[in-house]
């Protein structure tokens, strides 16, 4: 691939065509089984690793394109056929963003090459039993000890945790609410006092495990405090989420495209009242709305992704990242719902893949910050910037 500044339209088309071809031949045949068994798709991980896709958004020195647009293309095309396979990439890229943005040079050297190659797997853990969106109110504690910190507390819904080599864990280093005493700690697999506990039996996104984590004075050395200063933790979490939200939006676009394609084929083949269901004007209007919504979501996602590639960050990026994630995943849910309706009674049967798209689409409205939280971010932007 070309360098980030030269990742051209031709490069994008070539990448899209390559991934679509592989997804049709190798990924699509596995999608239903991965969902039904709720088993980690190691074969799909190996496929993505062999293709070098984990490196896509990484800088050129790690073998990547340095392009969030490229990352969105990969996730969108894989998501058309198998949400879980696209999720394998996203699970790797959120911790990558935090380390790239806020890690010390030695931390980048230790973890980024392995994340880019697929030789290391990672996860991010923020959500707790008492809440997920209210990051400032987390209760997991990090108490200073000679040479490091002792983590104590419980996390939930940590995706990829049971297969991860390390997890970025948000914990408080002081008392009370507030953002300035939240740190991100690199907790490596096998750390004493750290346990990956119960696996969730999920509605959608079933191929990647989401687990409870327990910490009982798990010792984390100073060298594993991301950025070297715990006070930077909240900012690192928020920036990592901001940079990843266009990619979450791309998952929504992929799901919407896949659901629309399935529904269109179905109504063209299905007969009613002596003609193809697709010939009815009401059906065509539904399909038209589904197509318009999907294309609008796609444009918003790639605008936000290009902003990341252009170096936009912080408060300038936040509302656009939130809009791309919120709108695209709401569209995924709307299009998947309409697609199930177009299938009729066949749409609620496990024998048809469309119900899987419906379940996976619902997940996207919740993860990486609920869409209600995204609307809070967007609303504050409107009040502050557009008044």
Question: Residue 3: is its pLDDT beyond 80?
Answer: no
Confidence of residue 228 (pLDDT cuts 50, 70, 90): confident
Query: Are 242 and 363 part of one and the same domain?
Result: yes
Q: Are residues 243 and 377 in the same domain?
A: yes
| pLDDT value of position 4 | 42
Sequence-distant (≥ 6) Cβ neighbours of residue 13 within 8 angstroms: none
Are residues 378 and 243 both part of a single domain?
yes
Q: Residue 19: which pLDDT band, with cuts at 50, 70 and 90?
A: very high
Does 31 share its domain with 164? no
Nearest to 310 by CA among 383, 241, 243: 243
pLDDT at 285: 98
Residues 328 and 354 in one domain: yes
Structural domain total, the chain: 3
Structure tokens given for 43 = 């074969």
Average pLDDT over residues 288-297: 98
**What's the pLDDT band for 178 if we cut at 50, 70, 90?**
low
Whether 143 is a known active-site residue: answer: no
**Pairing state between β 271-272 and 275-276:** antiparallel
**Same domain, yes or no: 139 and 246:** no
Domain boundary, last residue among 75, 96, 117: 117
Sequence-ordered list of residues with C-beta below 8 angstroms from that of 108, at least 6 positions apart, any chain: 99, 100
Answer yes or no: do 104 and 133 share one domain: no
Question: pLDDT value at position 176?
Answer: 64
Per-residue pLDDT band at 95 (split at 50, 70, 90): very high
Q: Which domain holds residue 322?
A: 234-385
Query: Do residues 211 and 305 both lie within one domain?
Result: no
Q: Please tell me the predicted confidence (pLDDT) of residue 235.
A: 77
Q: Of 228, 249, 277, which closes a domain? A: 228
Please provide the average confidence, as pLDDT, over all residues in the chain: 93
Q: Kindly report the pTM of this predicted structure.
A: 0.94
Distance CA 213, CA 194 (A): 7
Average pLDDT in the 191-218 region? 97
Residue 180 has pLDDT above 50, yes or no: yes
**Annotated catalytic residue within 77, 128, 239, 368:** 368
H or E element at residue 14: helix 9-22
Query: Of 195, 210, 228, at which residue does a domain stop?
Result: 228
């Amino acid at each position: 691939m070309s360098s980030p500044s030269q990742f051209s339209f031709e490069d994008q088309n070539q990448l899209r065509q390559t991934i679509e071809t592989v997804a049709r031949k190798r990924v699509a045949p596995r999608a239903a089984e991965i969902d039904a068994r709720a088993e980690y798709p190691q074969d799909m991980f190996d496929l993505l690793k062999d293709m070098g896709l984990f490196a896509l958004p990484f800088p050129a020195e790690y073998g990547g394109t340095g392009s969030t647009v490229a990352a969105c293309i990969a996730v969108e095309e894989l998501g058309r056929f198998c949400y879980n396979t696209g999720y394998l990439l996203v699970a790797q890229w959120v911790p990558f963003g935090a380390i790239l943005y806020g890690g010390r040079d030695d931390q980048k050297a230790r973890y980024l090459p392995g994340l880019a190659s697929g030789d290391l797997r990672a996860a991010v853990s923020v959500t707790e039993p008492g809440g997920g969106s209210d990051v400032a109110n987390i209760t997991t504690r990090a108490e200073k000890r000679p040479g490091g910190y002792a983590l104590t507390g419980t996390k939930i819904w940590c995706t990829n945790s049971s297969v991860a080599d390390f997890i970025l864990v948000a914990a408080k280093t002081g008392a009370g609410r507030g953002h300035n005493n939240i740190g991100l700690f690199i907790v490596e697999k096998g750390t004493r006092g750290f346990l990956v506990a119960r696996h969730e039996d999920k509605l959608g996104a079933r191929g990647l495990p989401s687990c409870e984590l327990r910490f009982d004075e798990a010792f984390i050395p100073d060298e594993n405090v991301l950025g070297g200063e715990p006070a930077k933790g909240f900012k690192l979490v928020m920036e990592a989420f901001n940079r990843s939200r266009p990619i979450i939006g791309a998952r929504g676009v992929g799901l919407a495209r896949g659901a629309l394609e399935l529904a269109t084929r179905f109504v063209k083949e299905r007969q009613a009242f002596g003609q193809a269901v697709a010939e009815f004007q009401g059906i065509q209007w539904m399909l038209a709305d589904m197509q318009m919504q999907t294309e609008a979501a796609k444009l918003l996602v790639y605008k936000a992704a290009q902003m990341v590639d252009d170096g936009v960050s912080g408060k300038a990026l936040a509302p656009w990242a939130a809009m791309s994630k919120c709108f695209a995943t709401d569209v995924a849910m709307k299009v998947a719902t309409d697609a199930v309706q177009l299938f009729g009674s066949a749409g609620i049967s496990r024998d048809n893949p469309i119900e899987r798209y419906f379940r996976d689409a619902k997940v996207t409205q919740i993860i990486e910050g609920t869409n209600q939280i995204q609307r809070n971010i967007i609303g504050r932007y409107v009040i502050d910037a557009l008044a």
